[in-house]
Structure 1
Amino acid sequence: MPLRTLALIGMFFASSNICLGWDGVDNETGASVEIGKGNLVRSGQTIEIYDHGSGEYRDVDVQSIQRSGGSVEVEVYDSESGEYRTLEMDD
């Protein structure tokens, strides 16, 4: 395989990885969640998450962020459901 082809394949995989969101799990339900690219995850900010358990996008307010070992705990408030959720995101 020519070097140019290998370089193009490598660039494709590198760029597709950059476009992915931030993956994690809802600690209470165990459902996978994803924070999409372009969300500024900071206390006081509203972000959009995709909840794979319900199959829905949700707008949530970031309450706190804490690094814990190999993950990051993001506590959010879902105003639509009135619930606080703790998301354990991959580091």
Structure 2
Amino acid sequence: MGGQNGPRVEGGEGRVKEMTPFPVSEIRSRLADAVELAGGQSAWSRKTGVSRSVVSEVLSHKRDIPESIINALGYIVVPMCVPAKRGMNR
């Protein structure tokens, strides 16, 4: 299911909500903001249960962003198909 602006999910009472997708790389910025608001990596790690070393490695671009961080920030990963340029997969 997809709307003009992005994927759609069923909301309460049969309503459909539009979701605005953004690149996974944007999660690093949102993680940095969340860590700052929590008072540091250790505080955010205690609050979310995500290892501080994983948080540090993600913020320093030494590690890909695991789904545990994406989920702890309140997001989910949704598989999505997007239009490709003609002949791109050949």
Q: TM-score range by the shorter chain?
A: under 0.3
Q: Greater share of strand residues, 1 or 2?
A: 1
Q: Greater share of helix residues, 1 or 2?
A: 2
TM-score by length of 1: 0.18
Greater relative contact order (Cα 8 A, min sep 6): structure 1 or 2? 1
